[in-house]
C-alpha cells in the first residue's frame, strides 16, 4: 500500500511525531524517531499497548483543548521508529493530537484532522441483540449493529443509555471499554459486571442495572455519529421487560439435535431450548467427523435459540459430532462450565457434555422395477 505524508497535518512541534495516511485517508500511522538506546530498550520484550502509550499516544482533542483518552492502537518498532496504528479508522472532521512523551525532555506533539467527505447517507441502527423483549435481569451485554462504520470514542457510553419506565436514566450502567468489530459496525455494550454480580461493592452501592419485573428501554440517540461525522438517521429504542435473574448453566446435552439426510446438503438443526449469545454461537460450535472439521456455513435465529449448519459438500454417512466451546454464554454470561455470578474456586457440579454425536439419516434404498 502506498504511503504518503498526510496532507491533514495541522501542527507539528519539533521533528516528531509524523502522521502518514495510508491510501484510505481514515487510516493513518503516527511515528516518532527513537535513539539507539531507546530502540534497544523497547526491543528487549514484546511491545504491549500499555508500553507503547507511555512513549506515544493519540487522542481526540476536545473543543476546550483537553485531550480524551488514548485511542486503541497497535504499536511496533520499525528500524529506529516507534509506529502507532489506530485499530479503527479515524473520524473525519475530528481533531486528533499525537503526543510523544518519552523521547526527550519535552513532549512533542502533532495535531491533525481528516477532511470531511461529501455528505453521504446517515447511519442507521440495523439490529440490537438480544432481540427479545423479555430478558433476564442479569443480562450481561447488548450488541448494537450499524449500517456503516461508526465514530470511535468513549463518549458512546454517555450517549447510549438505559431508561426505566419512568423515563429516568439508569446511573452509569456500562463497563467503559470500547469493543468494536474490525469495521466498526458492531458495538458490544457490557453491563458493568460489578452491577451484575451479587455481593460486589458496586452493586451494593448503586444497585443492579436491571431489576426483575422492571420495564426498560435501551436508547440509541441521534447524536451517535458515524466515522465521517454524520449523526444517526433516527433515534432507536429497544423496549424490554426484565425477568428473574438466570443463574443456571446452559446444558448442551439437553439440546435437540435434528440430524440431516446423508447424501444431501440439508441443514443440521439444533434447538437450544433458550436464547444464547448470538455472536458467540457463530464461532463456538463446530461440526466434526473423526477425520477432522466439516466446513460449512452457520446461521443463528434472531432470538439465539436455534442453530443451523449447512455443509459445503453433501453429508457423508457415519458418525459426526458437534463440538461445543465451554465458554459459550447465555444472555447472563453463564457458560456450560460455570455460572457467571460465582466464585471461580467453587465447585460447579458435574462436568458438562460438550460433544454432541449424530449420524446423518440414511434413506431406504429404492427397489428396482
Nearest to residue 57, comparing CAs of 77, 68, 71, 47? 71
pLDDT tens, N- to C-terminus, the chain (369 residues): 333 333 333 333 335 577 676 655 678 889 888 888 888 888 888 888 888 888 899 999 888 889 988 998 999 999 888 999 998 888 877 889 999 886 555 788 888 887 666 567 899 999 999 999 999 999 999 999 999 999 888 899 999 999 999 999 999 999 999 999 988 999 999 999 989 988 788 888 888 999 999 999 999 999 999 888 888 999 999 999 999 999 999 999 999 999 999 999 999 999 999 999 999 999 999 999 988 999 999 999 999 999 999 999 999 999 999 999 999 999 999 999 999 987 666 666 788 999 999 999 987 766 554
Q: Is residue 331 part of a domain?
A: yes
Verify that 59 and 15 share a domain, yes or no: yes
Verify that 220 and 328 share a domain, yes or no: no
d(CA 95, CA 119) in angstroms, rounded, equals 19
Cis peptide leading into 302, omega within 30 of 0?
no
d(CA 172, CA 177) in angstroms, rounded, equals 13
Q: Which residues pair with 149 in a beta bridge?
A: none
Verify that 57 and 148 share a domain, yes or no: no
Nearest to residue 278, comparing CAs of 239, 307, 253? 307
d(CA 212, CA 137) in angstroms, rounded, equals 5
The full DSSP string for 223-286 is: T-BBTTSPBPSS-EEEEEEEES-------GGGSEEE--BTTS-PPEEEE-SS-B-HHHHTTSEE
Domain count, the chain: 3
User: Residues of 205-233 as b/e, b for ≥16 C-beta within 10 angstroms?
Assistant: eeebbbeeebebebbbeeebbbbbebebe
Verify that 157 and 200 share a domain, yes or no: yes
Tell me the pTM.
Answer: 0.73
Verify that 9 and 53 share a domain, yes or no: yes
Q: Is residue 369 part of a domain?
A: no
pLDDT value at residue 366:
61
Q: How many CA atoms lie within 13 A of 236 on its CB side?
A: 16
Q: Which of 113, 135, 158 corresponds to the end of one domain?
A: 113
Domain CATH for 33: 2.60.40
Q: Is residue 279 part of a domain?
A: yes
3-state secondary structure of 356: strand
Q: Which of 83, 113, 143 corresponds to the end of one domain?
A: 113
Q: Is residue 147 part of a domain?
A: yes
Verify that 91 and 146 share a domain, yes or no: no
**What residues contact 5, with CB distance under 8 A and at least 6 apart?**
18, 19, 20
Q: Is residue 211 part of a domain?
A: yes
pLDDT value at residue 16:
55
Burial of 280 per CB tally in 10 Å (0-12, 13-18, 19+): middle
| Contact assessment for residue 306 and residue 269, using Cβ atoms and an 8 Å cutoff | yes
Q: Left, alpha or beta for 53 (phi > 0: left; psi -120 to 50: alpha)?
A: alpha
pLDDT value at residue 6:
39
pLDDT value at residue 110:
87
Verify that 158 and 220 share a domain, yes or no: yes
Verify that 208 and 275 share a domain, yes or no: no
Cell numbers representing residue 218 in the block: 435501551
Q: Is residue 78 part of a domain?
A: yes
Verify that 192 and 287 share a domain, yes or no: no
Verify that 101 and 11 share a domain, yes or no: yes
Verify that 101 and 132 share a domain, yes or no: no
Q: Is residue 364 part of a domain?
A: no
Domain CATH for 263: 2.60.40.1220
Q: How many CA atoms lie within 13 A of 2 on its CB side?
A: 2
Q: Which of 113, 141, 157 corresponds to the end of one domain?
A: 113
**What residues contact 276, with CB distance under 8 A and at least 6 apart?**
250, 304, 305, 328, 329, 330, 331
Nearest to residue 333, comparing CAs of 216, 204, 247, 241? 247
Verify that 98 and 30 share a domain, yes or no: yes
3-state secondary structure of 102: coil
Beta strand 56-61 pairing with 24-33? unpaired
Range of the domain at 236: 125-243
Domain CATH for 211: 2.60.40.3710
Nearest to residue 150, comparing CAs of 128, 180, 174? 180
Chain centroid to Cα 320, Å, comes to 31
Q: Is residue 274 part of a domain?
A: yes
Cβ neighbours of 140 (radius 10 Å): 22
Amino acid at each position: 500500500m502506498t504511503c504518503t505524508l498526510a496532507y491533514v497535518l495541522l501542527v507539528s512541534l519539533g521533528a516528531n511525531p509524523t502522521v502518514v495516511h495510508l491510501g484510505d485517508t481514515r487510516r493513518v500511522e503516527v511515528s516518532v524517531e527513537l535513539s539507539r538506546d531507546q530502540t534497544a530498550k523497547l526491543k528487549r520484550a514484546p511491545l504491549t499497548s500499555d508500553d507503547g502509550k507511555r512513549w506515544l499516544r493519540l487522542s481526540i482533542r476536545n473543543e476546550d483543548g483537553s485531550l480524551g483518552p488514548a485511542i486503541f492502537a497497535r504499536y511496533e518498532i520499525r528500524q529506529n521508529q516507534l509506529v502507532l496504528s489506530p485499530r479503527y479508522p479515524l473520524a473525519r472532521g475530528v481533531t486528533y493530537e499525537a503526543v510523544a512523551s518519552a523521547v526527550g525532555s519535552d513532549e512533542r506533539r502533532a495535531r491533525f484532522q481528516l477532511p470531511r467527505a461529501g455528505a453521504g447517507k446517515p447511519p442507521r441502527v440495523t439490529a440490537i441483540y438480544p432481540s427479545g423483549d423479555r430478558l433476564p435481569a442479569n443480562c450481561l451485554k447488548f450488541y448494537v449493529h450499524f449500517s456503516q462504520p461508526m465514530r470511535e470514542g468513549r463518549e458512546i457510553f454517555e450517549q447510549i443509555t438505559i431508561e426505566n419506565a419512568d423515563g429516568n436514566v439508569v446511573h452509569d450502567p456500562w463497563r467503559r471499554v470500547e469493543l468494536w468489530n474490525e469495521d466498526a459496525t458492531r458495538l458490544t455494550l457490557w453491563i458493568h459486571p460489578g452491577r451484575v454480580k451479587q455481593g460486589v461493592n458496586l452493586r451494593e452501592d448503586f444497585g443492579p442495572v436491571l431489576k426483575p419485573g422492571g420495564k426498560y428501554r435501551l436508547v440509541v440517540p441521534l447524536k451517535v455519529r458515524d466515522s465521517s461525522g454524520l449523526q444517526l438517521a433516527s433515534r432507536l429504542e429497544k423496549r424490554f421487560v426484565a425477568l428473574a435473574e438466570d443463574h443456571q448453566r446452559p446444558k448442551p446435552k439437553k439440546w435437540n439435535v435434528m440430524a440431516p439426510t446423508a447424501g444431501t446438503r440439508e441443514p443440521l438443526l439444533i434447538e437450544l431450548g433458550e436464547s444464547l449469545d448470538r455472536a458467540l454461537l457463530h464461532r463456538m460450535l463446530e461440526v466434526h467427523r473423526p477425520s477432522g472439521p466439516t466446513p460449512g456455513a452457520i446461521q443463528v435465529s434472531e432470538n439465539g435459540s436455534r442453530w443451523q449448519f449447512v455443509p459445503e459438500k453433501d453429508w457423508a454417512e457415519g458418525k459426526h459430532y458437534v463440538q461445543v466451546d465451554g465458554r459459550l454464554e447465555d444472555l447472563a454470561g453463564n457458560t456450560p462450565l460455570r455460572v457467571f455470578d460465582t466464585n471461580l474456586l467453587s465447585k460447579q457440579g458435574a462436568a458438562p457434555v460438550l460433544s454432541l454425536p449424530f449420524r446423518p439419516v440414511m434413506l431406504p434404498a429404492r427397489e428396482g422395477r
